[in-house]
Structure 1
Amino acid sequence: MSNDDILGGGRAVSAAGLARLLGVSSAAVSYALNGRRGVSDELRRRILDAAVEHGMDIPAAALRPATQPVLGLVLADVGNPYYSEMAISVTDAARERGFEVFLSNSSDAPESVAAAVDAMIHHGVDGVLITALQAGNADVCRPLRAARIPFVQISRRMLSAEADFVGIDDLAAGAEVMDHVLDHGYTKVAVVGGPVSSSASAHRADGFRRALRVRGVDLPRAWNITGGLNEVDGARAARHLLDQPELPEVIVCGTDAIALGVIAVLAGRGLQVPDDIAVTGFDGLTTARTSLVDITTVVQPRPRMAAEAVRLLHERQRTPNAPAQSIVLPHGLYIGKSCGCATRTEKIHV
């Protein structure tokens, strides 16, 4: 087959035709023509030389030196310190690979996630890390695919997105922390979870309830609470529970931030943790594991999650059509004193 056949019988060459001629991906041609990172300097020169040779109009961006590569990070809600700590981990991991990071807080609002993604596309980021995807958010992914910008889901995932994912087994972790609670002999258990539209929150709550069913412990409707992820949501849930005719012996929370809000309200009512009511969390916040608070909690390996997510983005730039990867990392269980244990220990699953 001749070059004319490949390029379309002598017509002005298209980016797709140039990619076929050079035997490279359309994404590589797009990166080179738009002055974006994602291709080597040698391949960039080869693509631009071929584009000039075949009479393509070269965008001004392609003639400027490629700037420092930038990743976008869309956070669910920095009101939950987990996302602040994740932002630090992602920034550290990205800089180790030569990337800078643009951050956006979505306040867990789908329209804000979409707006953040659109802004990142407009500013030409080289990849996007998203912690804020919820059920039904597929529309967020389409503009990224259209712009040929790789993205990775962190903690939360949508299977329909068919995109790379890094997280933990929230279902198993939820069951494990609940099993630990039930090993204390508690039978009056309340659950305060995050939004069911979040896959991570939904799986944690499923793990809590599964462990309760296996052990034959009932979960009264009034003690099964779903809401937001932050301290204010935990405080609201605690006030609801304290207004009930009977108090639970333990409150199992879907995040450490929720647990901190619960503990604050209990303290304000003169109730001691764990003597009057035990409390557990989820996420492994640094502040939640200090001797002052000492919350029993599932520990997510944030630095490793961040490093794997950045690595996946880097690989996706080089092999944009490779199958999506799902990386499930081992979690830990930190045993503090908030559950009623006398000593502090930590188990890491490998």
Structure 2
Amino acid sequence: MMTQKPETTIHDIAKALNISASTVSRALNDNPLIREATRKKIKQTAEEMGYRPNVMAANFRTKRTNTIGVIVPLINRHFFSSVISGIEHVAYQQGFTVTISQSNDKFEKEDKIAHTLFANRVDGLILSIAMETQTYDHLKLFSDRNIPLVFFDRIVDEIEAHKIVVDDFGAAYRATQHLIDQGRKHVAMIGGPLNLSIYKNRQDGYCKALKDAGLDFDNSGVVNNSLTREDGVKAIRKLMKAPSKPDAIFCANDTTALSAILYLQENGYRVPQDIAIVGFSNEPFSEVVTPAISTIKQPGFEIGKKAAELIISQILKKEKTAKFETITMPTELIIRKSSVV
């Protein structure tokens, strides 16, 4: 049976070089009191002996782990993966590591992840809440102990923290107005759960655009669900059975927009001639499907960078942030073939 080699310590390095352990420690921490040649020699010996710095012990001294927790609903959504890239870009430059988890839009999973990250002593948490989340004790765990939180996209009004959102109301208004400008009179909507402010704001923007154009809002023309591929199919089926069939649909994400287009094509409808479609998020597939999907572009990478900057500045500050801000990032309507004849 192989015996496990014991972990190399600074005492082992000191013994090998016949110097004091404190000199080794200072050299490994780049203390300028130690001569450059001595530092090089000590570092080289440490590497040869397979020395690993004891991060846990160092963290114990600084009371920091230099780790940021990130919880997103779905990693495979382009918007969330862009945000993660932005967070990592800034965190890496500032010497922080990032622990990424996905809630799969389930409250129970989000709750468990938050407790695990808390127990692992992350220095801060950046998140976008799950569709199912309606209670926030697992997040108050952080705010109650002054562990910085930054919310993005799907935020929690009840918790004081920095928040980064896009102008969901304005984006939905522009998307709906674009469909009305194409001469559409029955604009339906496939929306998300209204317990999340982003979907409520998108629906409000849609309703306002109808009102401003003098078009009637019809309850049967709006379907709210979890916005998955399957939900998109169910929603479009329902809308096509409504007394007044839509001639345009604004979808609160690109996934349901794609579902709607595929369903309509399979059932003999032409997009955009019979029914025009606009999505939301600018997923990579929206550009390559036929017809290419008109959509709203969100600045995911920039949101991630901003979230990381906000959380790191709070971590390094130590004292409680006096004033939290909600930052609204701009969006862009990208017009493609799915909405213009």
Larger Rg: 2
Query: Which letter does structure 1 place at the counterpart of 2:115?
Result: D
More deviation, 314-323/171-180? 314-323
Residues 1:131 and 1:333: Cα distance change in structure 2 (over 3 Å): same
Q: Which residues of 2 match residues 201-350 of structure 1 at below 5 A?
A: 201-290=199-288, 292-319=290-317, 320-322=319-321, 323-340=323-340
- Counterpart CA distance in 2 for 1:261 and 1:65 is 51
Larger deviation, residues 290-299 vs 327-336: 290-299
Q: Which residue of 2 aligns with 1:124?
A: 121
Q: Which has the higher contact order (CA 8 A, sep 6+)?
A: 2
After superposition, the C-alpha distances for 1:242-275 in whole angstroms (9 at most, x for unaligned) are: 2334421011111111211211211222322112
What TM-score, normalized to structure 2?
0.76
Q: d(CA) in 2 for partners of 1:127 and 1:293? A: 42
Shift of 1:288: 1.2
Q: Once the 2 structures are TM-superposed, how far is the Cα of residue 111 of structure 1 from its aligned partner?
A: 2.5
**Structure 1 unaligned regions, length at least 5:** 1-40, 43-58, 342-350
Cα distance in 2 for partners of 1:284, 1:272 equals 22
From the superposition, tell whether residues 229 and 67 of structure 1 become closer, same or farther in structure 2 (CA, over 3 Å): same
User: Which residue number in structure 2 is paired with residue 109 of structure 1?
Assistant: 106
Q: CA deviation at 1:66?
A: 8.3
For structure 2, the 5+ residue unaligned runs are 1-29, 32-55
CA distance in 2, matches of 1:318, 1:68: 12
**Partner of residue 197 from structure 1, selected from 180, 191, 195:** 195
Give, in whole Å, the separation in 1 of the partners of 2:67 and 2:268. 49
Q: How does 1:134-213 map to 2 (within 5 A)?
A: 136-213=134-211
- Within the alignment, does 1:94 sit opposite 2:91 as a pair? yes
Q: Cα–Cα, structure 1 residues 63 and 326, in superposed 2: closer, same or farther, change >3 Å?
A: closer
Distance in 2, matches of 1:63 and 1:209, equals: 54
Instruction: Please tell me whether the aligned partners of residues 133 and 153 of structure 1 are also in contact (alpha carbons under 8 angstroms).
Output: no
Report the CA distance between 1:149 and its aligned residue: 2.0
Q: Is the 8 A contact 2:59 2:65 kept in 1?
A: no
| Alpha-carbon distance between aligned partners in 2 of 1:152 and 1:301, rounded to the nearest angstrom | 17
2:8 — aligned with what?
Answer: none
The more displaced of 65-74 and 94-103 is 65-74
- Taking only aligned residues, the RMSD between alpha carbons, in angstroms, comes to 2.6
Which string of whole-angstrom CA distances, capped at 9 and with x for unpartnered residues, describes residues 122-154 of structure 1?
Answer: 112221111116674332321112443211000
Offset of 1:316 from its aligned partner? 1.0
Number of residues of Structure 1 aligned to a counterpart in Structure 2: 285
What does residue range 9-158 of structure 1 map to in structure 2 within 5 Å?
62=59, 69-78=66-75, 80-132=77-129, 136-158=134-156
Q: CA deviation at 1:293?
A: 4.4
Task: Return the offset for 1:318.
Answer: 2.5
Whole-Å Cα distance in 2 between the matches of residues 304 and 60 of structure 1?
35
TM-score w.r.t. length of structure 1: 0.74
Alpha-carbon distance in 1 for matches of 2:87, 2:291? 26
Aligned counterparts of 1:258 and 1:233: Cα–Cα separation in 2: 7
What amino acid does structure 2 have at the position aligned with 1:340? V
* Cα contact 1:171–1:207 (8 A) shared by 2: yes
